[in-house]
Structure 1
Amino acid sequence: MSVYFKFKSAKDYDSIPIDGHFITVGNLKEKIFESKHLGRGTDFDLVVTNAQSNEGWLASI
């Protein structure tokens, strides 16, 4: 299973492979930083949005 994501300024989506059907927002945030080689960023807000419905949730971690 994968989670697809993109930064607001990006044109295309990237994907993060995950084990199982669930991932915590904290783990997702860490995996995004690892995949983009951004270190261990903890000082940003992550907005999780359903790309189909455009419904979003703010996750400050």
Structure 2
Amino acid sequence: MTIKLGVPRSLHQQLDLEKVKSIFPYGRILNVEVVDGGLICSSGVLVEEMGDKNEDCYIVNVAVYVGY
């Protein structure tokens, strides 16, 4: 399978691609591609106990290509 992530450019370097790969319970991941996309908006909530530093909410678009 191939995974394509649409992520805001300012977050590209912060991605943990191994963690992304780990959420797939089966199948062989051939490639993970990160492209500009997604969205940063305000969640309206800041929970310091959870490590929040701001009210940002990050939206990532994901496409998973599966073939035989």
Q: Same fold (TM over 0.5)?
A: no
TM-score relative to the length of structure 1 = 0.26
Higher RCO (CA-CA < 8 Å; seq separation 6+):
2
TM-score relative to the length of structure 2 = 0.24
